[in-house]
Structure 1
Amino acid sequence: MKIVYYTDQLYLHGGIERVLANKVNYWVNEKKIETHIITSEQKGNPPCYNIDDKVIFHDLGINYNRKLSYYHPQNFIKVPKHFFTLKKKIKEINPDIIVICNFAFDFYFIPYILPRITKIKEFHSSRYFENISRNNCKSLLKKLNFRLNDYIESKYHYLALLTEDEKPYYYSNNTVVIPNPLSTYPEKTTELNAQKVISAGRIAPVKGFENLILAWEIVAEKFPDWTLEIYGNGEKEYINELQNQINYKQLQNQIILCGSTNNIEEKMMNASIYAMSSHTECFPMVLLESLACGLPAVSFDCPNGPRNIITDNIDGLLVERGNIKKFAEALIKLIEDETLRKKMSKKGRENIKRLMPDNVMNIWLNLFKSNLSS
């Protein structure tokens, strides 16, 4: 068997990149499967996560301008080169399976490149809000665009979704549900005695860090000795807005924007609570990793991921989406009660075992094999 994973880049920290690194390392080390990664704009950068030398890299060098729309002339003119360069590379590798990880303009033409090869399109974000927009859409042009996307999706052999909750938002009968596997299950866990809460992710408005800051303002009044650390890189304008918000609230000594880290596990081991303030998530890796490290989590019950990972009041606390006061109260509850933190820590470690790599990757392997024999 020969597998190709296709994405735009692997040099920026993010959940897709982390999951992809874990998967390719598993295939080459645990199953001895020849595995390739094709990128369209790696730009000579090394991968941000460790990837085994046995994984074979290819970069197409298309290099779209990410600040512009794909339909902008500067980008659209590159589409023919993209199509033919990708087709040539796939012919050269001759894989049995292609897994498409990202979502970009190439979504529209990949199904038509060597149709005999099984192509699986992964979706890593929730369509909850998009579906609301679709149902309320009045624009004929937008309606046609939704229909076009439905048609293209039907041309992939499979659409891989992360949760059952997402299935109603897709309009073809080729969906499969496969969750993300754990990237780590450390032998040791956090001791839960640090006066620290952490959060991590791409620094972008969808992550709702502005609400986390508002919640921490409430927490800080009662627990001024506790700190909140936020890890990740992202949109500079949004990062500046968050820092200005922190400065305005005079919380500079209690909330720290730490930038990205290559060792989030180490940071989790030195914390006592994980906080997730996202407006929407699908199956966030950092939430899985926090439970594996023994960190109880507080999360907004946002569509559609956290409820599929956290069991409310068992290994974490789910809070009504957008309710900042309740979010602060949940953090305070765990800060005040070390016994509860330890109880949830133990339960989280037990519950997350269902997502150990062998359990999840065998689902993928069975799917791959079923197409080889069909």
Structure 2
Amino acid sequence: MKNITFFINTLSAAGGTQRVLTSLVNLLVEKYNVTILILDDKQSFFKIKPEVQVKKVVSTKSSIKLFSLIDFNKQVFNELKNSSCDYYISLDSNSVLMQSLFIPRKTKLIIWEHFSLSKNFNNIIFKMSRYYASKRAHKLVLLSQQEVVDWSKIYNIPTKNIALIYNPITIDEKLNFLDIDFYGNKKILAIGNNIHVKGFDYLVRAWGLLDRNDWKLEIVGLSDVEQVKLKDIINQLDIKNEIIVTGRISDIKNKYLEASIYCLCSRMEATPLVLIESQYIGLPAVVFDNCEGPLELLNNSGLIVEFNNINKYANSLSKLIKSRDLYIELSNNARTNSQRFNKDTFFNKWCAVLN
């Protein structure tokens, strides 16, 4: 069996990256020896099969940052060498210099990129790291066709070195939601762990313009600190329509089943897992037009709004709320569209990369 090692800072977060990673390793462990290297020893937020090894990487701290960086890379190198690792998979090109600078000759580096290149950070270290990743990686696994175009163009990467693999549906695909009347739930849902990145400030402002007291908005996934910040924004805007703000949860499926419409207002986004899964349930989406990845996921299954136009976003929500016929049309389209993202396709494409 081939040995595969993943690197991620932590498994204890409740983000989409952690969720899709645990989904992948639980599939791969049937065919490969799988290890995950992490920076902390906190328990994984999502369930991981016991066959998957999880190891904390320990490095000696130095007052000189360069020495600490080199030492940490040596620690990763030793882990890869001792495990006779065939494939080392990093989930972030921004941090490749920090944890993939030294790699054994046998080991092939794969970058599984979870950031959008066009919306990425302009930090000079990150830019250097992305350039290094583009030259060093055996393969880049990207989440959308737009990312393939951007990476190929900017870094002149051959097509054979890039694989397009969409995020998969991680909730139970055997469930049948076709007979459920989600419109009757009268709830709008948004999921994320950062107010600014996910544009929740835009969303609550748009929500405040609606006169639909029988509908509710629920925002899920924020830390305690971020929840307080968002509630302060809501209070400052004196929004009367009900907004429910809740923390992170491991079983996101029930939140989809309680909702009617999914909202995506992100300032930065690659290919959001939450949009894929809400489509599978049959929730029409209202999405800003500034991020190419989410737009690529839609196929007449949502309403697209000019970025930063709060009035138009509110009007689109109102349109979807008031027109049951439009709602049903987009809901059916969402279910059909989501079949592109089934778990079997995801697994088979990864096996093709690793073989």
Given residue 293 of structure 1, which amino acid in structure 2 is its aligned partner? I
CA distance in 2, matches of 1:278, 1:91: 40
- CA positional deviation for 1:188: 3.0
Establish whether residue 168 from structure 1 lines up as the match of residue 150 from structure 2.
yes
1:181 equivalent in alignment to 2:168:
yes
Q: Aligned match of 1:93 in 61, 80, 83?
A: 83
The answer to whether the 8 A contact 2:86-2:106 is kept is no
Alignment equivalent of 1:359, drawn from 327, 345, 349: 345
Q: Partners in 2 of 1:53 and 1:124 — Cα distance?
A: 25
SS of residue paired to 1:10: coil
Task: Give the whole-Å Cα distance in 2 for the aligned partners of 1:148 and 1:350.
Answer: 39
Cα distance, 1:63 vs structure 2: 9.9
Instruction: State the one-letter code of the partner of 2:155.
Output: Y
1:188–1:250 Cα change, 3 Å: farther
CA distance in 1, matches of 2:176, 2:277: 13
Alignment of 1:1-374 (within 5 A): 1-28=2-29, 31-39=30-38, 41-42=39-40, 44-62=41-59, 73=63, 76-103=66-93, 105-108=95-98, 110-130=100-120, 146=127, 149-166=130-147, 167-169=149-151, 170-173=154-157, 174-184=161-171, 185=173, 187-189=175-177, 190-192=180-182, 193-219=184-210, 222-234=211-223, 236=225, 238-251=226-239, 254-311=242-299, 314-369=300-355
Q: How many residues align?
A: 344
CA gap 1:124/1:353 in 2 versus in 1, 3 angstroms: same
Tell me how far apart the structure 1 counterparts of residues 289 and 224 of structure 2 sit (CA, whole Å): 24
Q: Secondary structure at the match of 1:120?
A: strand
Give 1:145 shift.
7.5
Amino acid at match of 2:278: S
Structure 1 contact 123–160 (Cα < 8 Å) conserved: yes
Q: What RMSD in Å do the two structures reach over aligned CA positions? A: 2.5
Aligned with 1:3: secondary structure?
Answer: strand
Note the C-alpha offset of 1:277.
0.7
List alignment gaps of at least 5 residues for structure 1: 65-71, 135-141, 370-374
Whole-angstrom CA distance in 1 between matches of 2:115 and 2:259: 27
The 8 Å contact of residues 111 and 119 in structure 1, kept in 2 or not, is answered as: no
Q: Compared with structure 1, are the counterparts of its residues 89 and 226 closer, same or farther at alpha carbon in structure 2 (3 Å cutoff)?
A: same
Query: How many Å apart are 1:267 and its aligned residue?
Result: 0.8
Offset at 1:250? 2.8
| Aligned residue identity for 1:223 | R
Runs of 4+ in 1 over 6 A off after TM superposition: none
3-state secondary structure, aligned to 1:35: strand
Judge conservation of contact 1:198–1:271 (CA < 8 Å) in 2.
yes
- Give CA-to-partner distance per residue, 1:143-197, whole Å, 9 cap, x none: x984664244301112222112123244041433222122123523252111211
Q: Quick check: 173-182 or 274-283, which moved more?
A: 173-182
Alpha-carbon contact 1:17-1:49 (below 8 Å) kept:
yes
Q: Secondary structure at the match of 1:112?
A: coil
Deviation at 1:293, TM superposition (A): 1.1
**SS state of the match for residue 175, structure 2?**
coil
Contact 2:72 2:99 in 1 (8 A): no
| Matched residue type, 1:175 | I
> Identity of counterpart residues, as a percentage?
28
- The answer to whether the Cα contact below 8 Å between 2:110 and 2:140 also exists between their aligned partners in 1 is yes
Q: Is the 8 A contact 2:117 2:150 kept in 1?
A: no
Q: TM-score normalized by structure 1?
A: 0.84
Structure-2 separation of matches of 1:199 and 1:327: 14
**Bigger mean CA deviation after superposition, 333-342 or 1-10:** 333-342
Return the letter of the residue paired with 1:168: D
What one-letter code is carried by the residue in structure 1 that aligns with 2:3? K
Q: How many Å apart are 1:115 and its aligned residue?
A: 3.2
Q: Give, in angstroms, the shift of residue 256 of structure 1.
A: 1.8
Q: 1:277 to 1:163 in 2, by over 3 A?
A: same
Q: Distance in 2 between matches of 1:338 and 1:344?
A: 10
Q: Secondary structure at the match of 1:128?
A: coil
Q: CA deviation at 1:258?
A: 0.7
- After TM superposition, the structure 1 stretch with the greater mean CA deviation from structure 2, 4-13 or 169-178, is 169-178
Q: Distance in 1 between matches of 2:155 and 2:4?
A: 27
